[in-house]
Chain A
Amino acid sequence: MLLEIKNVHKVYKGKVKANDDISLSIAEGEVFGLLGPNGAGKTTLVNQIIGLTIPTSGSITLNGVDVVANPGYARESCSFQSQTQVPISGLNTLQAIELVGRIRGGSKADVRRRAMELIDKLEMGEWQKTMGITISGGVRRLVAFCMAAVEPGKIVILDEPTNDIDPLRRRILWQEVQELAKRGSAVLLVTHNVLEAERVVDRLAIIDQGKVMGMGTTSSLKEDDGDTMHLELILEPSQAEPTLPDFLQNPVIVNRRIVALVNPADITTAIDWARGLKESDAIEEFSLGPTTLEDIYIRLVQNPDEGEQPGEVM
């Protein structure tokens, strides 16, 4: 495995436990998702991988090298898209991408070629000569992605890469993420956008309150839910949320969207209930389908007792 994280604990001053016995590993050419809610400890873990902070205990090795003791090696090996905005206000898009490519050791010609390739693929040509201070947050995020991808390291770490980005370019960006993995880099994708991550990652870990709640491929995580189905309802605007029956498991209401799990034995009852809501114009629409990664995520994050730390590093 390229990256090995073993039993990492991180406790900040004031006894804030940000990472609690985290173990995971990532192979070359793999897209690994690190999913979790805000404040779960994802960015803390990333900061330890790239040597910005050091673990309270545990080990992190990259290609067999202890990056806690050798932060310089971590910086050489990891290209990083930060969650915070990159300091490119005074640079134009092309300058920013090329400078990072050159700093990461690329030759002038190779970096120019790759920068232009990324700009073309992500359809950013119109901003190629635009100063960072005048471009929108979404375009800045795209530029930051290109800065991480122009001369990729052994590991490419992307912290919430698609925030503020329009849907079409998001799709292209995800293709580029997979392209990076095909070229041999391991990609560590940090996000709380579960729906998008499901389509891209080879394996993932869900973390909450600093602990790994579940880890594996999307399919292996879904296996735990057996034949349980995913029910989704969209409320009519301005309609109050209906009383939720007991057969709905782990219901979550976000704005007008209600998501819940339904046991196979309750499926008919659930459909009848949803149809009734539709006929009374309480909801706009509903759908029933196989469980999604989002269901697993919600279950593990809402019911932390169900989560289990894998016994061995995968």
Chain B
Amino acid sequence: MPKWLRGYLLMVKWVFLSYRAWLSLNFAVQIGIAVGFIFGISFLYPAITPDIAKYLTTGAPTLILLIVGFVVGPQIIASARLEGTFDYIWSLPVGRMSHLAADATVMFGSTLPGIILAVGLGAIHFDFSLDISPLVIPAVILIGAGGTFLGYSIAFLVPKPMMVMVITQIFSFVVMLFSPVMFPVERLPGWLQSIHEVLPIQYMADLTRGTITDLDVNLGLAFIVVGAWCIVGFIVTLIVVNRRQ
């Protein structure tokens, strides 16, 4: 087995065991959120149609993945920076990116049950059909990786770990209310639409919608834009993580 793979797998084990207690709780919370989300939509939109329900439900995977990548991940990094644990972890013969990849793997693994449940339950409850393509796998990996790389870049670029906590809270607010994940981009003012033409968020939502439903989205463009952001995020993360004072 290549050394990097062995190191990565052992770090996955380390991270999994370390987060074990949190993961059980997170699993329960994810299930609760998924169920709450589906039934909560009915309260927000009493006259909801299957089409609107499909749109909202299929936005949930992107929202969950982005919140984990942009908010939960950076906050974990910020606490680790505050505790000084990177001094130890980075002294081990495992590449820094392998360690972060292990972290991201466990975090995203923990979101999948909630995502699958939310989408499945939504389809049953609101009576719409899913059209799941094999492309859903690369799509979810790309959204998860893109969100994580961008989140990690922020977590390491912001000098004060406490500031990371504040910034990620702002991010979650922006993603929830001012990003075209749960509503079409046309509802935003023109200037915000222009910004979202460049940002990856609406394309991430397109990726999930286009791979789990028959909704008409430009999947090719979504893969290209999210892929490009993923590469940028990877390069920035690689640089900031391997920086030495």
Q: With A91-B18, A99-B13, A103-B7 as given contacts, are A80 and B88 in contact (CB-CB < 8 Å)?
A: yes
Of A50, A87, A90, the contact of B85 (CB 8 Å cutoff): A87
Question: Does B93 sit at the interface, judged by CB under 8 A?
Answer: yes
Chain A residues with Cβ below 8 Å from B17 are 90-91, 95, 99
Of B10, B21, B80, B90, the contact of A103 (CB 8 Å cutoff): B10
Of A47, A85, A90, A102, the contact of B18 (CB 8 Å cutoff): A90
29 interchain pairs (CB within 8 A)? A12-B245, A51-B91, A51-B244, A53-B244, A72-B93, A75-B92, A75-B93, A80-B88, A82-B84, A82-B87, A84-B85, A84-B87, A84-B88, A85-B83, A86-B85, A87-B18, A87-B85, A88-B18, A89-B18, A90-B17, A90-B18, A90-B19, A90-B20, A91-B14, A91-B17, A102-B10, A103-B10, A103-B93, A103-B94
Question: Does A104 sit at the interface, judged by CB under 8 A?
Answer: yes
Q: Complex: how many Å from CA A102 to CA B9?
A: 11
Considering only residues 70-127 of chain B, those with a C-beta below 8 Å from chain A are: 80, 83-85, 87-95
Q: What is the interface of chain A, defined by CB distance below 8 A to chain B?
A: 12, 47, 50-54, 71-72, 75-76, 78, 80, 82, 84-91, 95, 99-100, 102-105
The answer to whether A99 touches B10, judged by C-beta atoms less than 8 angstroms apart, is: yes
Secondary structure type dominating chain A contacts: loop
Question: Does B139 sit at the interface, judged by CB under 8 A?
Answer: no
Considering only residues 4-51 of chain B, those with a C-beta below 8 Å from chain A are: 7, 10-11, 13-14, 17-21
Of A52, A87, A95, A100, the contact of B244 (CB 8 Å cutoff): A52
Considering only residues 179-211 of chain B, those with a C-beta below 8 Å from chain A are: none
Of B10, B14, B80, B87, the contact of A47 (CB 8 Å cutoff): B87
Chain B residues with Cβ below 8 Å from A50 are 91
The answer to whether B83 touches A84, judged by C-beta atoms less than 8 angstroms apart, is: yes
The answer to whether A78 touches B91, judged by C-beta atoms less than 8 angstroms apart, is: yes
Q: Complex: how many Å from CA A71 to CA B21?
A: 34
Chain B residues with Cβ below 8 Å from A12 are 245
8 new A-B contacts, CB < 8 A, other than A75-B94, A76-B93, A100-B92, are A51-B244, A54-B244, A78-B91, A84-B88, A87-B83, A87-B85, A87-B89, A99-B13
Chain A residues with Cβ below 8 Å from B84 are 82, 84
